[in-house]
Structure 1
Amino acid sequence: MCRPAARRPTHSPPQRSLKNTAVNLPSVYLFIQTGYAASNLPKIYKWHRYFNFSIGSLAQMGSVIVRLKDMLPILFLLTAFPVHQATGQEFVGEKAGDPSTNNTSQDLPPYEFTPDDFTPDQLPLVEPMADESDTRLLSPWLKTDNGFTATPVYYGEVFTNAHGGIGTRNSTQYEGLLDLSLDFDFEKMQLPIPGRINLLFQNTHGRGLEQNVGATQIISSIDSLNNITQISELWWEFGLFENRITMRLGKQDLSSEFVTMDSASDFINSAFGLSPSAGLPSFPSPSPAAILLTDLSPSLSFKVGVWDAYHSEEDDVFSRNDSALFIGELEYRYSTRGSQLPGIITLGMAYESPGVVPTGTIPRAFGYYFQFEQLLFREANSTENAPQGLSVFAQHFPIDSTGNSPFPVIVKDILAGFTYKGLIRGRDEDITGAGIGWVELNDGGTGEEFMVELFYKAKINSTLTIQPDLQYINSPSGIFPDALVAGIRFQLDL
């Protein structure tokens, strides 16, 4: 199974030493060691990397400061706004419960009312508490119970390459993605057809930063490389054997069921999901597939699927390249003893058959992946369905190929990180996170790429979410100078 890296500019990268690819400036240094000595580990773990980054004199870092100066006020306001809201809520709560601020006598004995104190038309009325209002723009028209569900979501983001990469000229760009999901439940529609049909329409516009950064782990998960307007998914799902097995047929995204982690879903970098760099049938090029899903027990589930590999927008329904991707996944859900903290362990295997594309022959390939998710700490006031607290995750996905692929291949990848939901008091729906991603490549240069991402995702209301984001990419695609990227994303649940 080949996993081609993203398409990058073909011009020669600037010459530099492979021993020291960092910006060597005085002042403050951040030193990260991402591995052990290569001599003490097998080749599969030869990712002994060091990098340092410093922010010191304005003269030496002028270009970085100029590019970040327009972003910093926005990032500061968006970070401070949740804290300000939380502080205000806490102040109101404390004042409301403080007897010294209430104009009620503490010396009067309590009085218990009886029905005789009121005539029938004078009985006190207690109105039920209203639910939190739904501020979504299209909610009144889309909330139906007739079997048809429409879910429009819009993502927009502005990112800038502040330093390094291919270049910083014209590197502040806007990119947007419109998702429109239409779901038809035949049972609720009272039609003599089992199951349901789902359609996903997608449109991307604007431009990402890959022409400026050159990273294999693409900066944004909504970057489709080339803008698209298409039906990305169209599948029919129905139950078999009294719904003990679910079958899904049609064009679909691999990452909707396979090689995905809920704990990593809020990161912006594409490495924390599946995107063009993975070379798998996912966004922006899903392909026809057939999958089966079943629960072997309340805690153990099994999935298996087959996809048309390397499907492109130039192809018809099928790619006709004779290559198919087979994948299976076993997922185990558990809770720790005592504290009952939920966790997930996932094991997957994938096999890709050989095929032929215009640029060459696709070799036979085999891969496996391991994923781990665990809630380490749950806040006392959170619920089991919506826990607040600290979660960690990790993934490893190596691939072994029998020949040379016509595409640049991601040989191995490793992901790890953590998220915290409700870190700031009074901001229970906000999420903050930090993660790292590493890939081994076969493009020459350093032969690897290392990425770090930090973000804070603030839920303003049921419609709007705002997410400042910062990413540092060490040796993009193994051949470009280290890059520093800053940006902000907003999400509109229409």
Structure 2
Amino acid sequence: MGKLNQCVADMKHYAPIVLLLALCNSLWGQADSGSKNASPFTYSILYKGDWVSSFKGGVKSGSSYAGIATAHLAFDLEKARWWKGGLLQVYLSNTHGQQPSERLVGAYQAVSNIEAGNRTFFQEFWFEQTVGQLSLKLGIQDLNVEFSANDFGSSFINSSFGIQSTFNDNLPASIFPVTGFGGILKWSISAMHTAKIGLFEGNPSCLSIDPWVFRIPFFEKSGTLNIFEYSYSGAIPVGANGFYKLGMYYHNHTSPAQAADTNHAGHNYGFYFVGNQPLYRRSDHSSLNLFTQLSLSPIKQSSNHLYWGVGLSYKGPSWHVPDELGLAFAQARFNESNAPLESVWECFYRYSFGQYFYLQPSAQYIVNPMRFGYPLNDAFLAIVRFGFHFEPR
């Protein structure tokens, strides 16, 4: 009951925000009801919950729960008739529950991509201005939204299929749940080619909604994370358009003391590749999709110097078109001589209930769980995720 009460207490942060979103949207619509898309405000409420059960291996057998609720607000300055190309977006999140990767499995690659303990914070809070083929985004950002994003792996529950494990522990990157301030300049060269460059805080800290936690970005001299990505979208011999991303990053601290405080090397760098390729698509909107991932970092500066992953997802496998079925494999390699790798297998099935709800059972098999620097017995676990996504139309 204690955890439930804490969850309810944390969720009270959302009540005034949800009411504000609805009020803004309603008032603007009444002020200009003659236009079909009069309101510059859009908002949505999302919830995901994972019930995780470990049956063998790892740290111990047992069950735990992790959840995340997110309130999203967007304000389009062009629709508000302020100026063209401006967009403001806010994502306020509350995570609650336990962390099964540490408590049950001992996995280096987090078995649930929403586990983050009990906290309420601005996951993202940024402004973007677009002028022609260029756009500039400034604010609190999740790096993985713009860089190294694996669209075809986003439905998998293990975190490595969303972003390569080399980002998570080798350097303090601005990635959920610890996001920080950053700037991204994007150049849409053509419909097929895009280039992005980003500058982020070198040691981001999670931002609470309590105002006294806010601080001046980069003021603490914690270094920077610089990242570049080139992406290509186009058809290859199999026929359907694919998405291919190639990127590199460089992270540095400004002092040995800062590096010691964060338990990371004074500098680090790496390269990554993400490939998303539909193998076929049908007129009934069903498709078979393939993704591949690869990332490399220097051995001397990295505990996890190599990651690779591959997976298949099939959307619309039955008469129920929104359904999705997936199977994927990932492997992270380490410097430890006693167990140099951790491997993950995951399969899932996602079933949608109407417009807003879905249920997603998943199974994972972890070979050599390595969170604690030494191998544990192979772990087998099952996860049942349920989700809710409400967005007024």
Where on the TM-score scale, by shorter chain, does this alignment land: which range?
A: 0.7 to 0.9
The 5 A counterparts of 1:177-188 are 177-188=68-79
| Corresponding residue number in structure 2 for 1:480 | 376
Indicate which of 18, 29, 48 corresponds to 1:155: 48
Distance in structure 1 (CA, Å) of the matches to 2:47 and 2:384? 14
Structure with higher RCO (Cα < 8 A, 6+ apart): 1
Of 192, 203, 222, which residue of structure 2 is paired with 1:322? Answer: 222
Residue 8 of structure 2 is matched in structure 1 by: none
Within a 5 Å distance, the mapping from 1:325-474 to structure 2 comes to 325-337=225-237, 340-355=239-254, 356-357=258-259, 358-359=261-262, 362-379=265-282, 381-382=283-284, 387-400=285-298, 404=301, 409-424=303-318, 426-443=319-336, 445-474=338-367
TM-score under structure 2 normalisation? 0.81
Deviations 1:244-279, CA, capped at 9 Å, x for gaps: 201001110001110111111100000111388354
Identity of aligned residues (%): 28
Deviation at 1:316, TM superposition (A): 3.0
Change (3 A) 1:253 1:361: closer
Q: Show the counterpart of 2:14.
A: none
Cα drift, residue 360 of structure 1 = 5.0
- Structure 1 distance, partners of 2:271, 2:191, is 24
- Output the CA distance in 2 between the equivalents of 1:184 and 1:484: 44
Is the CA contact (8 Å cut-off) linking 2:193 and 2:233 kept in structure 1?
yes
2:209 aligned residue: none
The answer to whether the 8 A contact 1:305-1:328 is kept is yes
1:422 and 1:464 map into 2 onto residues whose CA distance is: 16
CA spacing shift, 1:392–1:193, aligned 2, 3 Å: closer
Larger radius of gyration between Structure 1 and Structure 2:
1
Contact 1:178 1:203 in 2 (8 A): yes
3-state SS in 2 of match to 1:277: helix
**For residue 276 of structure 2, what is the amino acid of its counterpart?**
E
Asked whether the equivalents of residues 288 and 317 of structure 1 are also in contact (C-alpha less than 8 Å), the reply is no
For residues 43 and 340 of structure 2, what CA distance do their matches in structure 1 show? Answer: 45
C-alpha deviation, 1:194, in angstroms: 5.6
The answer on whether the counterparts of 2:288 and 2:315 sit within 8 Å (CA) in structure 1 is yes
Question: Greater strand share, 1 or 2?
Answer: 2
Report what 1:136 is aligned to.
none
RMSD of the alignment, in Å? 2.4
Contact 2:106 2:369 in 1 (8 A): yes
Please give the TM-score of this superposition, normalised by the length of structure 1: 0.65
Aligned 8 A contact 2:133 2:189 in 1: no
Give the CA deviation at 1:354: 3.3
Measured in 2, the distance between the counterparts of 1:254 and 1:429 equals: 28
Q: Is the 8 A contact 2:239 2:280 kept in 1?
A: no
Matching of residue 220 in structure 1 with residue 220 in structure 2: no
2-structure distance, mates of 1:256, 1:435 = 21
Answer yes or no: is the 8 Å Cα contact 2:203–2:222 preserved in 1: no
Q: How many Å separate the matches in 2 of 1:299 and 1:193?
A: 24
| CA distance 1:361–1:480, shift in 2 (3 Å) | closer
**Structure 1: any 5+ residue segments left out of the alignment?**
1-138
Secondary structure, aligned partner of 2:81: coil
1:445 CA displacement: 3.0
Alignment of 1:492 with 2:388, yes or no, is yes
Residues 44 and 71 in structure 2, CA contact (< 8 A), matched pair in contact too? yes
Within 5 Å, give how 1:27-42 maps onto structure 2: none
Matched, 1:282 2:180: no
